[in-house]
Structure 1
Amino acid sequence: LAAMRRRLDEVLADRAVRRIAPLRHLARYPASCHPAQGGHYALQAAPAGYVYVPRARPPDFAERLAALAGISFSVVAPAGWGAPEATARMIASVTAQWFPHWTLILAGPAETMPPTAHPQITTLHVPAGGRIAAINAAIRRAEGDFVVLLDPDQELTPDCLYAFATRIAAGDAEFLYADEDRIDPDGGYTQPFFKPDWSPDTLLSLPYTGRVSCIRRSLLHRTGPLREEHEGAEHWDLALRVTEQTRHIGHVSQILFHDRHPPDRPPCRDAGRKTRQDAFRRRGLAAMLEPIAQAPCHDRVRYAVRGTPLISIVIPTRDNGPVLARCIASLARASWRHVEIVILDNGSADPETLRILSDLDERTDIRVIRHDAPFNFSELNNIGARQARGDILLFLNDDTELHTADALDRMAGYAQLPHIGAVGAKLLYPALMQVQHVGVVNLDDGPGHAFLRHAADDPGYVLRNIADYNWSAVTGACLMIERPKFDAVRGFDEDFPVAYNDIDLCFRLLEQGLYNVSCPAAIYLHHESLSRGQDAASAERRARLDRERHRLYRRHPGFLMHDPWYNPNLRQHGAPFAIVA
């Protein structure tokens, strides 16, 4: 685009045409590609920050294609539902594929079947039943190694099957999904959804994998096809069932299809609820769905706590008596009552603080442990964990306040799930009720908090500020974990005395095959760093922060400039979740 603009400048200068305003307009608003008649693309100014640019074939395409020999796809789609023009565009998107080893099976009533003479397209007349019955009939006819589900209101990008095949050849993926965008009423492309890698809890919040998916045919036959009783959320139901049958799940981080439905548009509300309730029953989980107030038609999952586990709340502190007392007082409002509080006093000398600690130590549900040594956040928490008696540990900063009474219950329900490592919460700055934490993203310049200083109820990118999502890490200011999982990774690493100890812990949990999750309905107030001040407040602290960040990536080189629960197409430094124009 930059070269194109330079060339336009040269042409206008050569012709002495004084038409600068259109060029300024083009520079001000990123251009977008709109398909024009004849299959060509036209460049036009658009007031959006996203541009879909079709990929060019790599120079060594023939060699790459030869390496993919043996992979084949059956694309299945219903015909007769939707506008004939949309169906024709869907078919054209399949015939335009770079990857040649495909068949397209169109199923539907004979009277609505579009005419086609393409040798790789099969038409299957289904005299009775609806759209789902037609898709299932096409699935039964499929012979390719992988089945790709497609609807008439969707279009594949020309490199879609090639990208899927490349990903399949690189590993053992059995279920694949990809990023997507929207087709606007003018035929342009907008609203990209750049997705995270496999996120099991995100899939129970919304059907983020999308309606175009690629499934190994043997796995699909083992799982079963689309179910008519889940019509309105049939693709969501299939994704949930398929991912229960395999751990070989792949995500292609590029736009591989265009859809006419927005990414955060929910399926039929009742069907979506039924689909997830059915999943809970299959998985033996006691869970309920609650409406998300800020996102009509969306629900969040709330898991029931199994049994009556003791939750040990570990709180390090030093000379911060009144702040600590406020934190302890807020915990008295918690609806979960089976708790103990373990306070780690890191050498307080302030008389008021000492008096407060002495009074707290008189309580039967609180223990104060004195550890008069140089500050080491990891060491303090590890000492607290060893002294704690609870089945579940909550590491909590003394400058926090419980805001929602059921926060402990919500977090504990997640913490007890076998696949969950660390559980985070939404932390708000108290003055303006803005986000301090809802999850950590690991960008090029290191870990940082997503949606920092956004309004508490701002949905964020595809509801990530208000729906339950998996994240690479959550803050140690409020981190819950089951004791056996904490012990299995040997707790906090005491080589990280101040910064990144929480990130290191979360990375180690990920490396053990667990998932970290944030629960935005569990809300705390956070008077951030009241206890120790900001880490970047002085040159000395900034230098220490840099050293600990370098140590973090030496320990975890796989996470250097890489976050599987983010997306490489989104901005990799500065404010996260921005579309790179």
Structure 2
Amino acid sequence: MTSQLAVVTVTYNSGDYLTTMLRSLAVATTEEPQVIIADNGSVDGAPERAERDFPFARLVRTGGNVGYGGAMNRGVAELGPEVEYVVIVNPDVEWSPGSIDELLAAARRWPRAGSLGPLIREPDGSVYPSARRVPDLMTGTGHAVFAHIWKSNPWTAAYRADDVAPSERPVGWLSGACLLLPRAAFDSVDGFDSRYFMYMEDVDLGDRLGKAGWLNVYVPSAVVIHTKGHAAGKNPELMLPAHHRSAYRFQADRNPGILRAPLRLALRVGLALRSKVAVRAARKALDNEGHATGDQR
């Protein structure tokens, strides 16, 4: 196996998605990377099957559900010092031919790149906006409040960089669903902030890499397919509040001090209320879907 490249993924009852990701890895690169599966307490047997069926994969148990960033850090810590590049990837990603090799080639073109991310397609072929600007307080709040009720609002458009055509370029941050990172860059910022259980850990990582002098480079010539949100869709009571807590943490960390305490309080209260509304709506949608499915049987 090629020791300079490694792949780390985090699992939590990921089922057949994990098998698809590992199987498609064969077409993603001419290298032979080792794979670390950092498991957060799965009970579906998928990580064990993967370790058995794919000789290049090794299962590491985190000891419980420590969140995405914490588990990624645990997986990367298993790698030897000879590993130069780390691919962090969700288990529900499917690689396109040559996608990792494209990211590696871009890393050579951008020696100050701290992270490089591919173009991400959803299963229906649409492009997911994975290369975005770092949200300031106004943009982040506007997006959080209006994204689902006013699709064309200016804050969401600015946050998602909707006015920029896909091109290889530095951006504010890249989706943590799939990233290639030089190990030196990842270690220089101490990896992910494990206080983020889920969501916004990639925004925080990209922002910290940028502040440390690295670039976050979007590489649309590399393409992956991501079945995003399969875990969140099944567990809205857990995932949606986690998303809102992470959004608060990100902005609160960047707006410290006593003078901004009222602002942080207003943000906390507003996001908490929005979380309750979002959970209620998601649960209602799941219940309606269940009833519809039952009617068809």
Report the TM-score, using the length of structure 1 for normalisation: 0.37
- Structure 1 match to 2:191: 491
- Find the partner of 2:65 among 374, 378, 381: 374
Are the counterparts in 1 of residues 3 and 34 from structure 2 also a CA contact under 8 Å?
A: no
- Find the partner of 2:174 among 474, 479, 500: 474
CA apart distance, 1:553: 2.0
Pairing 1:435–2:127 present: yes
SS in 2 for 1:356: helix
CA apart distance, 1:535: 9.8
- Structure 1 match to 2:227: 527
Q: What is the alpha-carbon distance in structure 1 between the residues aligned to residue 40 and residue 239 of structure 2?
A: 19
Pairing 1:385–2:76 present: yes
- Structure 2 match to 1:328: 22
- Structure 1 match to 2:259: none
CA apart distance, 1:536: 9.5
CA apart distance, 1:355: 5.0
- Structure 1 match to 2:41: 347
Alpha carbons of structure 1 residues 350 and 519: separation in structure 2 relative to 1, 3 Å: same
Q: What is the alpha-carbon distance in structure 2 between the residues aligned to residue 474 and residue 551 of structure 1?
A: 18
SS in 2 for 1:349: coil
Are the counterparts in 1 of residues 48 and 59 from structure 2 also a CA contact under 8 Å?
A: no
CA apart distance, 1:309: 6.6
Q: What is the alpha-carbon distance in structure 2 between the residues aligned to residue 358 and residue 334 of structure 1?
A: 19
Alpha carbons of structure 1 residues 354 and 536: separation in structure 2 relative to 1, 3 Å: closer
CA apart distance, 1:499: 1.4
- Structure 1 match to 2:114: 421
SS in 2 for 1:491: coil
Alpha carbons of structure 1 residues 375 and 469: separation in structure 2 relative to 1, 3 Å: same
- Find the partner of 2:200 among 474, 479, 500: 500
- Structure 2 match to 1:457: none
Are the counterparts in 2 of residues 317 and 345 from structure 1 also a CA contact under 8 Å?
A: yes
The letter for the 2-side match of 1:333 is V
Pairing 1:319–2:13 present: yes
Q: What is the alpha-carbon distance in structure 1 between the residues aligned to residue 129 and residue 33 of structure 2?
A: 24
The letter for the 2-side match of 1:489 is V
Alpha carbons of structure 1 residues 354 and 507: separation in structure 2 relative to 1, 3 Å: closer
CA apart distance, 1:534: 4.4
- Structure 2 match to 1:548: 246
The letter for the 2-side match of 1:526 is H
Alpha carbons of structure 1 residues 309 and 347: separation in structure 2 relative to 1, 3 Å: closer
**Relative contact order (C-alpha < 8 Å, sep 6+): which is higher?**
2
Higher Cα Rg, which structure: 1
Q: What is the alpha-carbon distance in structure 1 between the residues aligned to residue 15 and residue 239 of structure 2?
A: 24
Q: What is the alpha-carbon distance in structure 1 between the residues aligned to residue 242 and residue 16 of structure 2?
A: 29
Query: What per-residue deviation string (whole Å, max 9, x for no partner) do you get for residues 231-259 of structure 1?
Result: xxxxxxxxxxxxxxxxxxxxxxxxxxxxx
Q: What is the alpha-carbon distance in structure 2 between the residues aligned to residue 311 and residue 446 of structure 1?
A: 35
The letter for the 1-side match of 2:75 is G
Query: What per-residue deviation string (whole Å, max 9, x for no partner) do you get for residues 441-499 of structure 1?
Result: 34434297xxx9xxxxxxx745x22x112110001100111001111111111111111
Q: What is the alpha-carbon distance in structure 2 between the residues aligned to residue 542 and residue 354 of structure 1?
A: 25
Alpha carbons of structure 1 residues 335 and 373: separation in structure 2 relative to 1, 3 Å: closer
Q: What is the alpha-carbon distance in structure 2 between the residues aligned to residue 536 and residue 326 of structure 1?
A: 22
Are the counterparts in 2 of residues 425 and 437 from structure 1 also a CA contact under 8 Å?
A: no
Q: What is the alpha-carbon distance in structure 1 between the residues aligned to residue 131 and residue 23 of structure 2?
A: 26
Unaligned 5+ residue runs, structure 1?
Answer: 1-307, 453-459, 559-581
Counterparts of residues 351-370 of structure 1 (less than 5 Å): 351=45, 353=46, 356-360=49-53, 363=55, 365-370=56-61
The letter for the 2-side match of 1:376 is G
Q: What is the alpha-carbon distance in structure 2 between the residues aligned to residue 471 and residue 536 of structure 1?
A: 31
SS in 2 for 1:509: helix
Query: What per-residue deviation string (whole Å, max 9, x for no partner) do you get for residues 34-58 of structure 1?
Result: xxxxxxxxxxxxxxxxxxxxxxxxx
- Structure 1 match to 2:87: 394
The root-mean-square deviation of aligned C-alpha atoms, in Å, is 2.6
Alpha carbons of structure 1 residues 435 and 354: separation in structure 2 relative to 1, 3 Å: closer
The letter for the 1-side match of 2:93 is T
The letter for the 1-side match of 2:33 is V
- Structure 2 match to 1:39: none
SS in 2 for 1:332: helix
Counterparts of residues 449-468 of structure 1 (less than 5 Å): 461=163, 464-465=165-166, 467-468=167-168
SS in 1 for 2:18: helix
Q: What is the alpha-carbon distance in structure 1 between the residues aligned to residue 70 and residue 93 of structure 2?
A: 20
Q: What is the alpha-carbon distance in structure 2 between the residues aligned to residue 422 and residue 355 of structure 1?
A: 30
Are the counterparts in 2 of residues 399 and 529 from structure 1 also a CA contact under 8 Å?
A: no
Alpha carbons of structure 1 residues 374 and 446: separation in structure 2 relative to 1, 3 Å: same
Unaligned 5+ residue runs, structure 2?
Answer: 144-150, 152-161, 257-297
Alpha carbons of structure 1 residues 545 and 535: separation in structure 2 relative to 1, 3 Å: farther
SS in 1 for 2:221: strand
The more displaced of 489-498 and 545-554 is: 545-554
What is the count of residue pairs matched by the alignment? 232
Are the counterparts in 2 of residues 400 and 526 from structure 1 also a CA contact under 8 Å?
A: yes
